[in-house]
Structure 1
Amino acid sequence: MIRPLDDGRKRIQCVEVLGKDNNNLLLISVYLPSTGSHNHYEEFLDTIDQLNEIVLKYQDTHYMIIGGDLNEDLGNIDRINKRKDYLEKFVKEAGLKYENEGKTFVKVNGEECSELDYFLHKLGRIKPTNKQVISSIMNNTSDHLSIKMKILYGISNDADCKNLTSDCTNRAIRWDKDDIDLYAAMTNEQSDAILNMPLDTLEQATSVLEQVHEFLNDAAVTCASNKPRYKAKPKLNVWSADIKLALDEMRKYYAQWVKQKNQRTQKIIYTNKD
């Protein structure tokens, strides 16, 4: 019922949703270049041209929603530049609609300053809800606020999609197959170092977040069970309650050893400073 498409390049991702009565929906995620790069203007125009090609290709067969960071404020009439003119021309010629509902970009000091994130849509008789800017997500570490829009849309059932082939992946976490104790020990070891890092500037905060992401990913890969499930029964069952108890004890002592090691390292650092 849902499948990715090859249209677009690195800044554009397309997904097709198969609807009832062949009323298919094309979802396009886009990130237009900011003004910070050397060739941002040429890359901005090139990405718009790619979007235009996709719209022309699917406009007669699909409803469309283009969502993402456009890096231009379409609601700010005082801001005039060639990038914005090119974007507005594309929106008008493609017959796309959008709403200005509030600022979505936040400065480092917490000030909401411009509206850069949009849903550009071409939905025919489908009436979407107005775009909502969501500022209440506490764990949002981005400098952009999330946006939301709803539509009432009928999706094809399995019988309509029986001729399609798709890769179905079960992404449910098998906690009983993962080494949770080892994961906790590895993350605790890295967390002590992270907590002592400075967070005074945006660059420092970004560096800390990148390191947190890296060691969480490494711990997950190390502790996850990637082996294929062995369906046949083992000939000899060597696992026992005593072995499980011994393994649990070993992991507990390992975690204590790591903690003590970190404490000794900190004392040495403080001694050297003195």
Structure 2
Amino acid sequence: MPRGYGGVAILWKKNLVKLVTTLSIGDERIQCIELSGNQKLLFIAIYLPCKSSDNHLDKLYECIDQLHEIMEVYKATHQIIIGGDFNENIFNENNSNRKRYILDFKSDHNLSTTEVGITYTHTSGNSSSAIDYILFQEKFRECILNIEKADIFSNVSDHLPILLRLKYELPCRNSEIQNQSTSNDVRWNKTDKDKYKNLIEEGIALLKDKPQNRTELDKAFVTLNHTITKATVKVAPKKKI
């Protein structure tokens, strides 16, 4: 896929690296990883063709057919989560071939989702739609705590991120993961606290005295977080490798 025209990627926290397996299935529009917890979990990230692309219908059919194959292989042994840009509003009243093909796939595998509203706004600002979704198997509904749009001030994409909260048990015997998750703690007893205090005060001085609205408050909060992070990095003792 040409640079600048999309694609998919899946990121995970470093403390999960020993539990994550990348899978060589899919293509540039479909990427998969397996998380080995008490119940194996398959994450599928997708980017379906947009309507303006050449042969978009055939390409969409091809992507959905690949998803059918993946579901058939893994649905008996894994909990499966599918998320990404579907480039189609599956909740509106249109009855396009694209929508029907996606909904047939959803029905064939007993998949569900939650409507979260508008997720995409065209760069011109003249149009918007709901085209981003997270699908889950109905039999695992009790594991889905919430699906919602994430309100992230620093987001610069024309898509709004969707947040899934999932009840999932990681292996309790994996002490390495637990130790790794706390390995980035700052050793405050060995930091220059005066320097840290001065850096924080310099950052606070750049803030407006009293934010006048929600936007200014959000900006102040982000700036303060960045100030604290930068100050911590500068005074934290360098770890020996």
Cα deviation for residue 107 of structure 1 reads 2.2
Cα deviation for residue 11 of structure 1 reads 0.6
Tell me the secondary structure at the aligned position of residue 114 of structure 2. Answer: coil
Cα distance in 2, alignment partners of residues 7 and 58 from structure 1: 12
Equivalent residue, structure 1, for 2:43: 27
Cα distance change on mapping 1:123 and 1:14 into 2, 3 Å: farther
Instruction: Determine if contact 2:146/2:166 at 8 Å carries over to the other structure.
Output: no
1:50 aligns with 2:40: no
Instruction: Determine if contact 2:31/2:46 at 8 Å carries over to the other structure.
Output: yes
Equivalent residue, structure 1, for 2:81: 65
Cα distance change on mapping 1:123 and 1:26 into 2, 3 Å: farther
Cα distance in 2, alignment partners of residues 111 and 99 from structure 1: 25
Cα deviation for residue 157 of structure 1 reads 4.4
Cα deviation for residue 123 of structure 1 reads 5.9
Cα distance in 1, alignment partners of residues 118 and 66 from structure 2: 27
* Alignment equivalent of 2:147, drawn from 131, 135, 142: 131
Cα deviation for residue 3 of structure 1 reads 1.2
Equivalent residue, structure 1, for 2:26: 8
Tell me the secondary structure at the aligned position of residue 6 of structure 1. Answer: strand
Cα distance in 1, alignment partners of residues 174 and 167 from structure 2: 21
Tell me the secondary structure at the aligned position of residue 51 of structure 1. Answer: helix
Instruction: Determine if contact 1:27/1:64 at 8 Å carries over to the other structure.
Output: yes
TM-score, length basis structure 1: 0.54
Cα distance change on mapping 1:13 and 1:44 into 2, 3 Å: same
Q: Which amino acid aligns with 1:2?
A: V
Instruction: Determine if contact 1:17/1:155 at 8 Å carries over to the other structure.
Output: no
Cα distance change on mapping 1:128 and 1:112 into 2, 3 Å: farther
Tell me the secondary structure at the aligned position of residue 67 of structure 2. Answer: helix
Decide which structure has the larger Cα Rg and report it. 1
Q: Which amino acid aligns with 2:79?
A: Y
Equivalent residue, structure 1, for 2:35: 17
Equivalent residue, structure 2, for 1:88: 103
Instruction: Determine if contact 2:20/2:34 at 8 Å carries over to the other structure.
Output: yes
Tell me the secondary structure at the aligned position of residue 66 of structure 1. Answer: strand
Q: Can you give the 5+ residue segments of structure 1 that lack an aligned partner in the other structure?
A: 162-171, 173-230, 232-274
Matches within 5 A, 1:216-231: none
Cα distance in 2, alignment partners of residues 155 and 112 from structure 1: 42
Q: Can you give the 5+ residue segments of structure 2 that lack an aligned partner in the other structure?
A: 1-18, 177-183, 185-240
Cα distance change on mapping 1:31 and 1:82 into 2, 3 Å: same
Question: When you count helix as a share of all residues, which structure comes out higher?
Answer: 1
Deviation per CA, 1:142-164: give whole Å up to 9, x if none. Answer: 11111101011001246599xxx
Q: Which amino acid aligns with 2:123?
A: V
Let me know the Cα RMSD of the aligned residues: 2.3
Runs of 4+ residues over 6 Å off in structure 1: none
Deviation per CA, 1:124-149: give whole Å up to 9, x if none. Answer: 34431332112x32332211111101
Instruction: Determine if contact 1:63/1:123 at 8 Å carries over to the other structure.
Output: no
Question: When you count strand as a share of all residues, which structure comes out higher?
Answer: 2
Equivalent residue, structure 1, for 2:197: none
Matches within 5 A, 1:50-199: 50-77=66-93, 79-110=94-125, 113-122=128-137, 124-125=139-140, 126-134=142-150, 136-157=151-172
Cα distance in 2, alignment partners of residues 101 and 112 from structure 1: 17
Equivalent residue, structure 1, for 2:5: none
